[in-house]
Chain A
Amino acid sequence: MNSAHITLAQIIWIWIGAFLTFCIFSFLYKDNPLYRFAEHLFVGVSVGYSISISYHNVLYPDLIVPLFKHGQLLNIIPLLFGLCYFARFIPQVSWLIRLPMGLVLGFGAGASIPATLQASIIKQIQGAVLTPNIFKHWDFFVWALITFIGLICVVTYFYFSKERNKVTKLVAEGGVIFLMVGFGASFGYTVMARISLLIGRFQFLLRDWLHIIK
């Protein structure tokens, strides 16, 4: 941040941000009123933010303008379905909430079936068996073979519908090894993620608040 352009208001807001940061950090010592205050403030602000964005980005341009300014009466149908959500607060007609839920769930479930088949099954099988790269070099072929064997082992491990015999038991144990390596890789990356988040906050405190680092 170029210090020449920082106004008093910006300085005050940065101090507020730093104060709230320390309020949350104070939880590391123990739960306390400052942490509770910051937590509840955050909940309130996030709901207020959601209401504002929802109105300006969706309700006004997609419903209010087309329906009330341009007279597109077909929009009454989704409006009525949407209003059924309010029925949740009226016990006598609370069942009406099932109407928009059924519609949205059916839509989501129906859309997901071909998409999941295509992206998560067909494409992944193609990737497991046939990639152009595997014939480029001998080690690509070896690694692709190991990946394929690992996949079979993992899928065998997740098959619980039948009791395992000696062969499937051995294969499943191989699957466990691959899974442990995968989870170890995920854990390694997770450590990176968590430390990154902490670094981000310290960068804010040291750079934007205290100006110790540039």
Chain B
Amino acid sequence: MQRTIPLALCLGFGIFMIIQFFIPHPVSNAAYDIVLKWIRLITIFALVLGVGSLSMHHTTKIRRKITGWQYSIVTIIGVIVTAVIGLVGGVGRGSGLQVIFQNIFIPVNATMFSILAFYMASAAYRAFRARTKEATILLIAAFIVMLGMVPIGSAISKRLPELAEWILTVPNTAAKRGIIFGLALGSIATSLKIILGIERGWLGGGRQ
């Protein structure tokens, strides 16, 4: 029962969604509306898992004084203060939540990803070697696109942007389309396996 009911739910809703795509009947549409609303409401509770796991992890660190436990206090305070300000003050224009978002969230989030530029420059210098013919082809294509896609490319030669455009429109499209096919077929196969209960990894462990 502990595995049968979830598998039955998965099968039922999976088949319903596939069939519903082809049936525009009012009864089908009404059921479709209800299902969409339910899924929207159910998925919001998944946030509970994330918040709960995070809180447990950091409170355990603080309680057991594991290395770096002081930073866990910062995290917990951050969660509580932001959540209280947001829940009480709302999400509207000029709200406390928006101020925190603009002045704490944006700087940290944006900077974290911006430092990738430095590591990419270092990696390009150290690791990007034209050792094989495939690597050389990749390098040449990268060079042309890198120059062709910025204004300095057209300053060097008017042909560069055209060549970069050709690379993107012809061989790149062919390659990416092949990858799209592969991913799409794999995704359909996996979806079918999940619906039919062949793929059961999501059920987790347990005796039954």
Direct A–B contact in the complex, CB atoms closer than 8 angstroms: yes
B109 near A42 with CB under 8 A, answer yes
Q: Tell me, rounded to whole Å, the shortest Cβ–Cβ distance linking A198 to chain B.
A: 4
B125 interface residue per 8 A CB criterion = no
A25 touches B115 (CB 8 A): yes
Q: Which B residues touch A135, using CB under 8 A?
A: none
Interface residues of B in 131-175 (CB under 8 A from A): 134-135, 137-146, 149-150, 164, 166-175
CA distance A82 to B183 in the complex (A): 31
Decide: B45 and A83 in contact? CB cutoff 8 A: yes
> What's the minimum C-beta distance from B120 to chain A, rounded to whole angstroms?
5
The reply to whether B141 and A180 form a contact with Cβ atoms under 8 Å apart is: yes
Which residue in chain A gives the minimum CB-CB distance to B174?
A: A150
Known A-B contacts A106-B11, A107-B13, A120-B180; the reply to A81 vs B175 at CB < 8 A is no
Nearest Cβ on chain A to B17's Cβ, whole angstroms: 3
Which of A85, A183, A188 has the largest number of chain B CB atoms within 10 A? A188
- Smallest CB gap from A98: residue in B: B6
| Alpha-carbon separation in the docked complex, A26 to B63 (Å) | 29
Q: Is the CB of B124 within 8 A of A178?
A: no
Question: Do the beta carbons of B138 and A154 come within 8 Å of each other?
Answer: no
Does B27 interact with chain A (Cβ within 8 Å)?
A: no
The answer to whether A41 touches B104 (Cβ under 8 A) is: yes
Given known A36-B68, A57-B91, contact A189–B179 (CB-CB < 8 A): no
Q: A21-B107, A47-B51 are in contact. Are A120 and B171 (CB under 8 A)?
A: no
Task: Count residues on chain B whose CB falls below 8 Å from chain A CBs.
Answer: 126
Instruction: Please tell me if A207 contacts chain B, counting CB pairs below 8 Å.
Output: no
Which of B40, B44, B111, B138 meets A184, CB within 8 Å?
Answer: B138
A51 with B177, Cβ < 8 A, contacts A36-B71, A45-B105, A114-B21 known:
no
Residues from chain A with a CB closer than 8 A to the CB of B180 are 120, 124
Chain A positions within 8 Å of B138 at CB level: 180-181, 183-184, 187
Chain A interface SS verdict (over half):
helix
A63 to B192, CA, bound (A): 32
Pick the contact of B179: A17, A154, A184 (CB < 8 A).
Answer: A154
B104 and A182 within 8 A (CB)? no
Which residue of A has the minimal Cβ distance to B84?
A: A48
Give the residue of B44, B106, B137 whose beta carbon is less than 8 angstroms from that of A180: B137
Residues of A within 8 Å of B140, CB to CB, are 184
Interface size class of A (residues with CB under 8 A): 35 or more
Are the C-beta atoms of A40 and B71 separated by less than 8 Å? yes
Residues of B within 8 A of A77 (CB): 38
Binary CB contact string for chain B from 173 to 203 against chain A (1 if under 8 A, 0 otherwise): 1111111111111011011101100000011
Q: List 29 A-B contacts (CB under 8 A).
A: A18-B107, A25-B111, A28-B118, A43-B75, A52-B85, A53-B86, A54-B44, A78-B38, A95-B2, A98-B2, A101-B6, A102-B9, A109-B195, A112-B188, A114-B21, A143-B170, A149-B174, A153-B174, A157-B178, A181-B175, A182-B179, A185-B145, A187-B141, A192-B146, A192-B149, A194-B117, A197-B116, A198-B115, A198-B117
Which residues of B are in contact with A by a Cβ distance under 8 Å? Answer: 2-3, 5-18, 21-22, 34-35, 37-52, 54, 68, 71-72, 74-87, 90-91, 97, 99-118, 120, 124, 134-135, 137-146, 149-150, 164, 166-185, 187-188, 190-192, 194-195, 202-204, 206, 208
